Amino acid sequence: MNKIKLWPLVDETSHALGAHYKPALDKAAKQAGLEPPASGILITVQMFDPHPVASWRLRVRFPYTASRRYDERLQTAARLGFLKAAHEGEYRLTELGRRTVRQMLDASYAALEKMAPLPAEDLERLAGLLRRLVDASLAAPEPPGKWCIHLSRRLDPGAEAAAVRIDQYFSDLNAYRDDAHLAAWQSHDLSGAAWETLTMLWRGEVKTLDELMRRLAQRGHTREDYEEALNDLLQRGLIREEAGAYALTRQGQALRQKAEQKTDEYFYGPWNCLADGEAEEMRVLLERLRAALAEPNSQASADQKIEPVAG
């Protein structure tokens, strides 16, 4: 089968699974006095342990968010006692922070362990197939690098219930997709804001600066940041502007499409570890799991209301 069609299914199933345990994680964070996104930053800091975390290090992992936004989140967590300053601009988890991360993860695992969306043997089979993909990605030649997936693997829960391991492998594969995409575009010497701007225009999700600002408000960039990004893209001949509306040029379209193709080439290379029959088996299992998770009265979450995953 065409393995490229499997990734959107993995991504959709991952989001469906997250909707079942995220309320438990958020509840544990709230009980500790944390609200998103400060709660998320603690889990991210845990990934880097024992190394301290600074905004520049976070932007290596996810370069689309402004440094000031990361600084705000780190400072908030430090003010609440969950982080402590290591060096200027760098932070480590305090004992309270470590305990809170453990409580959030344990709450997530407990919610996942209650789930029975598929027979146990089917969940084990899916976990085994996904683990083979993760291992093959880790062993694949560079490029891409393995920085993102190695960080993700630091949260590996070990020999937990199959649903817990499946969620971890979803995260690992998503991280390797990030590794692949970073390798595909960063050679063009564009800022994260400029690349995401190009991507939004390529997808047809925005046309104007105002639309861009609204769509990417969570990134923490200023209007001036996006004006600079647009000007950079204009000077490179990747986009054109008419009456305040922006669109990709033929050159911009080709560059962005080539980066997407390169991302797929890097990302799907390790998927050859699955025979066609195994890939088809994984597709069937993923579709069944996604459908089961979508059932409002599913055993997947019998004791809590299903809520959408926060963006």
> 305 lies in a domain?
no
> 309 lies in a domain?
no
> 228 lies in a domain?
yes
* pLDDT for position 240: 98
Q: What angle do CA 269, 257, 173 make, to 5 degrees?
A: 35
Q: Are 43 and 96 part of one and the same domain? A: yes
Q: Are 165 and 106 part of one and the same domain? A: no
Final residue in a domain of this structure, among 76, 96, 114: 114
Task: Say if residues 20 and 309 touch (Cβ distance below 8 Å).
Answer: no
User: What is the C-alpha separation between 247 and 220, in angstroms, rounded?
Assistant: 23
Task: Say if residues 104 and 257 touch (Cβ distance below 8 Å).
Answer: no
> 302 lies in a domain?
no
Inter-residue long-range contacts of 209-212, CB under 8 Å, 24+ positions, other chains counted: 209/244, 209/246
| DSSP annotation string for 156-168 | ---S--HHHHHHH
**Distance set, CA 241 to CA 207, 217, 249, 281, 283 (Å):** 9, 22, 10, 47, 43
Judge residue 128's burial from the number of C-beta atoms within 10 Å of its C-beta, 0-12 exposed, 13-18 middle, 19 or more buried. middle
Q: Are 159 and 259 part of one and the same domain? A: yes
* pLDDT for position 206: 98
Q: What is the residue range of 73's domain?
A: 20-114
Task: Say if residues 239 and 230 touch (Cβ distance below 8 Å).
Answer: yes
What is the rounded radius of gyration, in angstroms, for the C-alpha atoms of the chain?
20
Q: What angle do CA 146, 150, 152 make, to 5 degrees?
A: 125
Residue by residue, pLDDT tens for the chain (311 residues) are 677 789 999 999 999 999 999 999 999 999 999 887 778 899 999 999 889 999 999 999 999 999 999 999 999 999 999 999 998 889 999 999 999 999 999 999 999 999 899 999 999 999 999 999 999 999 999 999 999 999 999 999 988 899 999 999 999 999 999 999 999 999 999 999 999 999 999 999 999 999 999 999 999 999 999 999 999 999 999 999 999 999 999 999 999 999 999 999 999 999 999 998 999 999 999 999 999 999 865 544 333 332 222 22
Q: Are 130 and 100 part of one and the same domain? A: no
> 301 lies in a domain?
no
Final residue in a domain of this structure, among 114, 129, 144: 114
> 307 lies in a domain?
no
| DSSP annotation string for 177-200 | HHHHHHHHHGGG---HHHHHHHHH
Q: Is the pTM of this model over 0.85?
A: yes
φ and ψ of 14, to 5 deg: -60, -45
**For position 284, which CATH number holds?**
1.10.10.10
Domains of the chain: total: 2
Residue from 306, 267, 219 nearest 15 by CA: 306
Q: Are 89 and 126 part of one and the same domain? A: no
Amino acid identity of 264? Answer: D
Mutual orientation of helices 6-31 and 276-294 as an angle, nearest 10°? Answer: 40
Q: Are 144 and 277 part of one and the same domain? A: yes
φ and ψ of 150, to 5 deg: -65, -40
Final residue in a domain of this structure, among 68, 95, 114: 114
> 207 lies in a domain?
yes
